[in-house]
Structure 1
Amino acid sequence: MKQRLITGIIAGIVFLGFCFLGGLPYHILVLAMALIGYYEFVRMTQVPSFGGIAMLGYLGILMFMFPWSLLDIPFPLQWEHAIWLLLFLFMLVTVLTKNRVGIQQAAMLFLGVLYVGMGFSYLADSRSTSDGHGLFWTFLLLASIWSSDAGAYFVGKWIGSHKLWPAISPNKTIEGALGGVVIAMLTSCVFSFLSSGVLPLGRALLIGLACAVAGQLGDLIQSAYKRVYGIKDSGTLLPGHGGILDRCDSWIIVFPFVHIAMLLPY
């Protein structure tokens, strides 16, 4: 527990410090997190971490995470065209290797590029929203996710008796999940009261709800994936916490979701 607490404090200070800086330093940090996260995904999928098809995945992450707008460089393709070309290349690998790389491996690594690359790209882009309040929005989402996690844990320990999804995550309870939703919505309301009109109360409630529900689903997704491959943590980068994906599994679902739901400016 002591190691977990120390690691969490140091990692939190570093991340929030870069978040305050914003701009290119923050984007580069998130890019590094995305590359490490994809490395963990590849290892969990039991594919050589730096084999040919994995390298194609790292290039896909760079495509999503390159700071195009910060460097005022237009992306050379429409995004749906770029995603299709990436899909084509992954499938082509199965042909060129005469199925030594199977379609299942190619499909999983392509899925990983979308899961990790898009998730972290929204995390990076949320810091530089068009309304100039990117730091506020980023902190709002992070605080709502963290408070949902804390609420779910403590309420579950206190009154949790009905298992939420024991086949995937045996310690989670329905009472804890609902407690996480309530705490996240209360947290977003606090941000609304302190926002000087930037965040209306109704939108704050919706954002808190979205962060709690999508965040808990993101955690379950990662738990289900790890259970398939029989592993406890995605990596060992953060002692006491596991890997990047273990710590950011909720983030890379929540940040895209709230943008797609049009709850934040882009």
Structure 2
Amino acid sequence: MKQRLITGIVAGAVFLWLCLLGGWPYQLLLTAMALIGFYEFVKMTGLPAMGGTALLGYASVLCFMIPRDLLGSSEWLSWEQGIWLLLLVFLLVTVFSKNKQDIKITALLFTGIVYIGMGFSYMGIARGAEDGHGVFWTFLLLCCIWGSDAGAYFVGKSFGRNKLWPAISPNKTVEGALGGVVISVVISALFAILGPDLLTLGEALLIGLACAVLGQLGDLVQSAYKRVYGIKDSGSLLPGHGGILDRCDSWIIVFPFVHIVMLMPYY
């Protein structure tokens, strides 16, 4: 517990400090986290972490993490065009490798690239919001996610009776999940009160609900994936916490979702 607490405080302080700095320091941190996350993803599958197809995957994740706004350049491909071209490349890997990398492996790696690359990329997009309030939006989402996690844990531990999804995560309860939703919505409402010119109460409630529901689903996605491969943690980078994907599984689902469905008011 002591090790877990120390790791959490140090890692959290570094992350928040770089987030407040923004710009290249924060973008480089997110890029490093994305690459490590993809490394953990590849390792979990049992594939060579530095094999040819995996190296192509790292390069693809880097493409997602290129900060167009910081470089002062416009996007020369839309998200849809970029993802389709990436899909084409990975389909062709099966052809040029003469099925040494079969379609199941390439499809799995493609999934990991989009899952991780887009997840961390949208964290950078939130911080670099065009309205100049990127810290507000980033902290709104993170605080809602963290509040949901804490609420689900403590409410579930105190009042949990009904299992939420025992086949995937036996410790999660329905009561805990509902507690997480309530805490997340309360936090988002507080942000609306603190920033009434940025966020209406109605917008805040929708964002808080989305953070709680999608955040918990993101956690279940990672739990399901690890259960398939019979592992407890995605990595060991953070002592007492596991790997990057263990800590950021909710983040990389929530950040893309709230942007793609246009819940963020600065769009």
Tell whether the structures are fold-level matches, with TM greater than 0.5. yes
Q: Match of 2:151?
A: 151
1:261 positional shift? 2.1
CA RMSD of aligned residues (A): 1.0
Q: Which moved further from structure 2: 183-192 or 143-152?
A: 183-192
Q: Match of 2:237?
A: 237
Matches of 1:248 and 1:118 in 2, distance apart? 13
Q: Match of 2:257?
A: 257
Matches of 2:185 and 2:173 in 1, distance apart? 19
> Is 1:213 paired with 2:213?
yes
Deviation string, structure 1 residues 74-103 (Cα, Å, up to 9, x no partner): 333333222112111111111122111111
The one-letter amino acid paired with 1:199 is L
> Is 1:179 paired with 2:179?
yes
Matches of 2:131 and 2:78 in 1, distance apart? 24
TM-score for both structures, normalised by structure 1: 0.98
The one-letter amino acid paired with 1:86 is L
The one-letter amino acid paired with 1:2 is K
Matches of 1:78 and 1:191 in 2, distance apart? 32
> Is 1:137 paired with 2:122?
no
Matches of 1:193 and 1:82 in 2, distance apart? 39
Deviation string, structure 1 residues 188-238 (Cα, Å, up to 9, x no partner): 111111114221111111111000000000000000000001100000000
The answer for unaligned runs of 5 or more in structure 1 is: none
1:175 positional shift? 0.3
> Is 1:162 paired with 2:146?
no
Local SS of the residue matching 2:172: strand
Matches of 2:85 and 2:206 in 1, distance apart? 36
> Is 1:106 paired with 2:118?
no
TM-score for both structures, normalised by structure 2: 0.97
Q: Match of 2:74?
A: 74
Local SS of the residue matching 2:238: coil
Matches of 1:78 and 1:208 in 2, distance apart? 28
1:65 positional shift? 0.2
Q: Which moved further from structure 2: 248-257 or 81-90?
A: 81-90
The answer for unaligned runs of 5 or more in structure 2 is: none
**Number of corresponding residues:** 266
Matches of 2:208 and 2:74 in 1, distance apart? 34
Q: Match of 2:56?
A: 56
